A and B are shown apart, each in its own frame.
Chain A
Amino acid sequence: MSGTMVRGRGARIADAATYAALLPILAFFLAPILWLLSLSLRTQREVFLGAARFIPQEPTLANFTRVLTQSGFGTYLWNSVQLSTLGALGAVAIAAPAAYAFSRIRFRGRPALMMGILAVQMVSGLVVLIPLYRYMDRLGLLETHFGTMLLYISAGVPVTVWLLKIAFDAVPEVLEEAAFIDGLGRAETFVRITLPLAAPGLVSAVILNLILNWSQFLIPFIMLSRDAKWPISVAIHNFSGAATASTTQLLAAACLMSILPALIVFVVLQRLIVGALTSGAVKG
């Protein structure tokens, strides 16, 4: 808008410069994923041709079928789906009441508690996982998806409290006041009025947790040593350790499969995720 009166040759040169600057940036971000795709579609012979065969001449899906059927990646994918989903739902369920209290109830120590939760979020998993590993061992929860899921939930709770607080802040209080006047209790108002109105915020919190859980490596790596229970992150780590030059195309297919679900969810629901990330940013 500021440039409308002087919009001429200078502006067009600036537009061209914008694209010229974006081009190498896009190449940097896109090339690794395209290379992975290229490798995963090649035969072993074409892998050895390197960059000269960027577009495979005999593209094949055999790598995917082989990894899925012979290397157990079907199971790993399913384990990841289960752990990520239950972890995300659990974190949102636990965080929601507290987020509501932080959004609506004015009580002493509220700002300090909220900052405390932010500080907790910065604690490295490594610090707490050493003792937690021992507790899980004593409770007999090592090697179980249940114990692993509990840790996924606890890892997601702090950031989820903040995301949901921001989502509840956006629900007009007037609507709740009407419910109060009608004699609804606070809990009932929360469930029947606030939660449905904050649905987009709840969904974006679930999705963000899903994506973070999908990437989770440290927790399952420490908790689960038997491969039948592994999520895909641990599986590709193990698979890459055993990979050789002649299995590069299989590793590429496995790696792409660990990326695709997160990528698809992200592209489809991008608006919600960007919204969740930026709402946190603006509020600081």
Chain B
Amino acid sequence: MTARPEVTHPPRSRLGRGGPFPWLLPVGLTIALFYLIPILDALRLAFTDASLLGREARFSLDAFGAMLGSPALGTVLRNTGVYVVASVTGQMALGLVIALLVVRGERHRLPGMVAVRTIVLAAWVIPGIANGVLWQMLFSEAPFGAVNSTLRLIGLPPVAWLSDPGMAMVSVILATVWQGTAYSMILLYAALRTIDETLYEAAAVDAATPLERFWFITLPELRSALLVNAILVMVMTLNTFDVVIALTGGGPGRATEVLALHTYTTVFRGFDLAGGSVLAILLLMISMLAAIGIAAALPRGEGR
């Protein structure tokens, strides 16, 4: 009995041989050097007149005025709003529908559910650039473009997928939803499988309709998962620019220029480092505010 006092000790005591700091050092250094210092530096650069071409930088508030006062910013922010809200809603709604169908199929032992999951997830592993290039070929307005030549086969008129400003945004959103849905699907699929089966059995006793079961059991049970998913997908979508640059390049005109792409163009095409830093910080602030806004809706006390 007295030979095993170790086991009853709380975890803390076993660690008497040094704190967590040596363990945290590599990650700590990485985050300091590649995230914290650059973020502070971006903040500093925003208050200068620095350009990418190495001119000596002086303190200046001009970049703020030039960027925030620019007439392009209004268009860019409106595009970003439309793009993010529509893409996130589309990805989550479609992801939820697929997850519900797959979980139902698995519960009733229907064959083919793994294949469904695999096909949807396959789109997710495709590089964003390849995704943009792929959809550019699908939406090609040449007579042999995939969608338009299919429309012609069934006797419908062609659509100006990429040259019409309104349709171009729809096209970019479609390509984004196509690629991103898998992420929402897999997270919601995992959450659906943790819902207690007896809740549905009780509902069956009460003769609840499928819609009632979805509304009064599934959705409330999924609340946390949906909100966490919304935060992650929204931040990812806000930061997306590879699909857009490859599919439309932000055009026609500025019709699909979102904030991430606008930031990139300002720095690496316009060589305006200070202006780009202002926009990058704006992007960071929008991400943070939106994430905090959604997180506020999370149920309290579920500190997992």
A18 CA to B52 CA, complexed, in Å: 55
Flag if B126 contacts A217 (CB, 8 Å).
no
Say yes or no: is B121 at the interface (Cβ < 8 Å to chain A).
Answer: yes
Assuming A259-B126, A270-B118, is B143 touching A101 (CB within 8 A)?
no
Contacts of A35 in B (CB 8 A): 137-138, 146
Any chain B CB within 8 A of the CB of A181? yes
Residues 42-77 of A, flagged 1 when their CB comes within 8 A of B and 0 if not, give 000001111110000000000000000000000000
Cβ 8 A contact of B116, one of A22, A49, A129: A22
Contact A101 B20 (CB under 8 A): yes
Q: Which of B23, B98, B117 contacts A100 (CB 8 A)?
A: B23
Q: Report B-chain residues with C-beta under 8 Å of the C-beta of A2.
A: 197, 200-201, 204
Chain B contacts for A216, CB-based, 8 A: 127
Q: Contacting chain A: which of B67-75, B79-87, B103-111?
A: B103-111
Interchain nearest-CB distance for B66 vs A (Å): 16
| Number of A-B pairs, beta carbon distance below 8 Å | 286
Shortest CB–CB separation between residue A197 and chain B, in angstroms? 17
Select from chain A the residue with minimum beta-carbon distance to B107. A1
**Is A240 in contact with B246, judged by CB distance below 8 angstroms?**
yes
Q: Is A39 an interface residue (CB 8 A)?
A: yes
B interface, size bucket:
35 or more
B276 touches which one: A32, A107, A130, A248 (CB < 8 A)? A130
- Establish whether residues B268 and A124, one from each chain, have CB atoms under 8 Å apart when the complex forms: no
A177 CA / B8 CA spacing, docked (Å)? 11
| A1 contacts B197, C-beta separation under 8 Å | yes
Interface residues of B in 143-157 (CB under 8 A from A): 143-146, 148-150, 152-153
Q: How distant is the Cα of A119 from the Cα of B39 in the complex, in angstroms?
A: 13
Q: A2-B200, A259-B127, A278-B190 are contacts. A128–B178 as well, Cβ < 8 Å? A: no
Contact call B125/A126, Cβ cutoff below 8 A: no
Indicate which residue in A126, A158, A262, A284 contacts B264 across the interface (CB closer than 8 Å): A126
Interface of A is mostly: helix
B140-179 vs A, CB cutoff 8 Å, 1 = contact: the mask equals: 1011111011101100000000000000000000000010
Answer yes or no: B219 CB below 8 A from chain A CBs. Answer: no
Bound complex: CA A284 to CA B299 (Å): 13
Report yes or no: B122 in contact with A153, Cβ–Cβ below 8 A.
no
Instruction: Check: A30 CB closer than 8 A to any chain B CB.
Output: yes
**B89 within 8 A of partner (CB):** no
Interface residues of A in 101-126 (CB under 8 A from B): 101, 104-107, 110, 113, 117, 119-120, 122-126
CB pair A3–B24 under 8 Å, yes or no, is no
- Determine which residue in A153, A232, A258 has the highest number of CB atoms from chain B within 10 A of its CB, and name it: A258
Residues of A within 8 A of B143 (CB): 48, 50
Specify the chain A residue showing the minimal Cβ separation from B177.
A28
Q: Are B17 and A185 in contact (CB under 8 A)?
A: yes
B284 and A277 form a contact (CB under 8 A) = no
Contacts of B15 in A (CB 8 A): 104-106, 186
| Minimal beta-carbon separation of B228 from chain A (angstroms) | 6
> Contact: A284 with B23, CB < 8 Å?
no
The complex places the Cα of A145 from the Cα of B26 at a distance, in Å, of: 21
Q: How near does chain B come to A170, taking the closest CB pair, in angstroms?
A: 15
Known: A104-B11, A128-B38. A98 touches B23 (CB 8 A): yes
Q: B175-194 interface mask toward A, CB cutoff 8 Å, 1 = contact, 0 = none?
A: 00010010100110111001
Chain B positions within 8 Å of A, measured between CB atoms, are: 6-7, 11-12, 14-15, 17-20, 22-28, 30-31, 33-35, 37-39, 41-42, 45, 52, 94, 97-98, 101, 104-105, 107-108, 110, 112, 116-123, 125-130, 133-138, 140, 142-146, 148-150, 152-153, 178, 181, 183, 186-187, 189-191, 194, 197, 200-201, 204, 224-225, 228, 235, 238-239, 241-242, 245-246, 260, 263-264, 267-268, 273, 276-277, 280-281, 283-284, 287-288, 291, 304
Given contacts A25-B120, A277-B183, A284-B228, could you give 18 more A-B pairs where the C-beta distance is less than 8 Å? A18-B101, A22-B105, A25-B116, A107-B19, A117-B31, A119-B288, A122-B287, A122-B291, A127-B280, A127-B284, A128-B34, A129-B38, A131-B37, A158-B31, A262-B125, A265-B125, A277-B186, A278-B190
